[in-house]
Structure 1
Amino acid sequence: MQKAATSFPRPVIGIIGVLLISLLFVLFIQLTPTTPPANSPRFAEKVNLALRRTAHHLLVKAGDTTSRIPPVQQADDHTFMIRLERAFDYQPLPALLQASLDRHGISTPYDVAVLDCAKGELQLGYTIRDLTGQEPVPCGGRDQQSGCYTLKVTFTPPEAVPPQTSLWWVLAITGLFAGVAYTVWRNVAPSAPSGPAPVVAASDSPQPLRFGNSSFDPANQRLMSGTTQHELTYREAKLLHLFVSHPNQVLEREYILKSVWEDEGIIVGRSADVFVSRLRKLLQADPAVRIAAVHGVGYRLEIRPDNQA
């Protein structure tokens, strides 16, 4: 029989699938933001802790280790303020604030304003985008007058933040791995022929099979019954080859269906009856050969020994 084309081992395909799903899960976890919604109590709590930490380090750098840090005031869902009763060094503020926000897992964009307590006028300030640019943070190095200041941090509302690109990264990487997997499969598993393969390869059966007064060439799917030649279909040839390979033996119906039609994926019980009827008509020119039905069991190819060539 012709050997089937080498296919990519199913266990390897399964392993690749599991690895791909695991990788996508990890990427999704890493790329998905973990910051709580800006209008949630958890977000406000984290910002409160981050601002108090920032105020503490600013006062320590200014030489104040005893003053009470006042509570953080929240003007709305996105705006938080903390009052510092004495002047502080503005230069380390951007790095200190960013480190405090990072410590509490806050990645929402924000703007910073330093206001004087008396009039609420803006004295110094910057935006988060200034930290990622090549230029120094604005207002750095400027002198501050002694007095009271309010540190105001305003976070960008969720609707103003561009959509996260996590899903696009996942889709892009999925497409990349799918392409790689398909390329590997194409290189390892040769393409199946467009039509059904011959019943047997020519090298497996160089000579026609003779039975009764007939002969059968499986490689070319050709039957010579008596003096009449017939070109067989793939299923006709496969069924005849099964019978000729088991002369005078009862073949159960289930065995016939499994041997001849299993590669279709769907087995129809009446298929054997239909094709046996076809072969009987093709073999009727040879009186030494008969396909007999064995009631309730299957079929048998009967060959008369005295007429067999």
Structure 2
Amino acid sequence: MKLKSLLIISLAIFTFLSWKFIDKADDIPKDLSNPHLEVSLRNIGHQVLLSAGDSSTRVLPIKKLDDHTFLIQFEKQFALEPDTLAGIVQINMSEEHFAQGYIVNVLSCFTKEVVYAFEIFEDKEQNLVPCLGRPLPKECYDIKITFPSKKITLVNYMPLMVSFMALAFSFFLLIKKEKKTEAVAISNEETSIGVILGQLEFFHGKQILKSGNETISLTAKENQVLKILASSPNETLSREQLQKEVWEDEGVLVGRSLDVFISKLRKKLEADPNLKIVNVHGKGYKLEI
């Protein structure tokens, strides 16, 4: 697969997963302060009283205990059917788009103990609705409904992290390939284009000198030394600079090695009497053209 295609695919995956993640985040109940929710909660209380045969007593004002918890209170005692309560709450919450999940606790007004509870999940298969068919006696009850806040954890971010890493790796491969292509292009250019040195032509990439139809081969070190000298014609380069650039990468510096290669290069440059490597006493060498 070409790297550009891989990059496009990774970007598409990253965009898709980001959208899905944001879409999931939108499922978190955000309108719990909506006044219409209070109407729905009062309607739950109203239908519970009607199911108990009470059509006259009041549902007391809805209490908001915190940002996610609401309390439905009643004026008088009543008997409670768990099956009926569960059905009433689920219908009202489904209509108000609060099916993401909630917990219902029925509390005794006197002891504040939980006498009945059930939990509804976004995944209906996980719903916990126990004790159906077990009616509660006539008593004073409060109904507390809690909408748990969805906590964003590292696991939630995992799809984004994986897709981002894939995207970053694709960029890395693409940049690496471009650098390699650029290096090859430069190498090919150096191989095909020579540098004019007087009457000679120097091909660093091929390690040769040309004098007309004559080809003069250079060793690797001769080639390196001549390249450095040719990069600054008619300028004196110190021995230390030449030795460092040619030999230091190998971790070895041989005192007289430079002189040996300069001597060999001089012989190979004799094809052009006007091209000389001059020893500048106490300073270094320069290529005179």
How far does the alpha carbon of each residue in 1:128-184 deviate from its partner, in whole angstroms, 9 at most, with x for none?
Answer: 279978796333212344x5643320538x8xx78432x5422x1133223444369
Alpha-carbon distance, 1:93 to partner: 1.5
1:20 aligns to what?
A: 14
2:105 aligns to what?
A: 112
Query: Given residue 169 of structure 1, which amino acid in structure 2 is its aligned partner?
Result: N
1:94 aligns to what?
A: 86
1:49 aligns to what?
A: 39
Q: Do the aligned residues in 2 keep the contact of 1:114 with 1:151 (CA within 8 Å)?
A: yes
Q: List runs of 5+ in structure 1 lacking aligned partners.
A: 1-5, 241-274, 291-302, 304-309
Q: Distance in 1 between matches of 2:84 and 2:105?
A: 13
Q: How do residues 112-261 of structure 1 correspond to structure 2 at under 5 angstroms?
A: 112-115=105-108, 119=110, 124-128=115-119, 137-145=129-137, 147=138, 149-153=140-144, 155=146, 163-165=151-153, 168-170=155-157, 172-181=158-167, 182=169, 186=173, 190=177, 197=184, 199-200=187-188, 205=192, 213-223=199-209, 229=218, 230-232=222-224, 236=227
The secondary structure found in structure 1 opposite 2:117 is strand
Structure with greater proportional helix content:
2
Q: Distance in 1 between matches of 2:204 and 2:115?
A: 92
Query: Given residue 53 of structure 1, which amino acid in structure 2 is its aligned partner?
Result: N
The secondary structure found in structure 2 opposite 1:231 is helix
Alpha-carbon distance, 1:231 to partner: 0.5
How far does the alpha carbon of each residue in 1:20-58 deviate from its partner, in whole angstroms, 9 at most, with x for none?
Answer: 2464144134236633598xxx17x46533322323443
Q: Do the aligned residues in 1 keep the contact of 2:59 with 2:72 (CA within 8 Å)?
A: no
Q: Distance in 2 between matches of 1:213 and 1:121?
A: 106
The secondary structure found in structure 2 opposite 1:128 is strand
Q: List runs of 5+ in structure 2 lacking aligned partners.
A: 238-264, 277-288
- Cα RMSD after superposing both structures: 5.5
Q: Do the aligned residues in 2 keep the contact of 1:7 with 1:188 (CA within 8 Å)?
A: no
Query: Given residue 24 of structure 2, which amino acid in structure 1 is its aligned partner?
Result: Q
2:280 aligns to what?
A: none
Q: Do the aligned residues in 2 keep the contact of 1:199 with 1:218 (CA within 8 Å)?
A: no
The secondary structure found in structure 1 opposite 2:132 is coil
Correspondence 1:277 to 2:266: no
Q: TM-score, normalised by structure 1?
A: 0.50
Q: Do the aligned residues in 1 keep the contact of 2:72 with 2:144 (CA within 8 Å)?
A: yes
Q: TM-score, normalised by structure 2?
A: 0.52
Q: Do the aligned residues in 2 keep the contact of 1:8 with 1:188 (CA within 8 Å)?
A: no
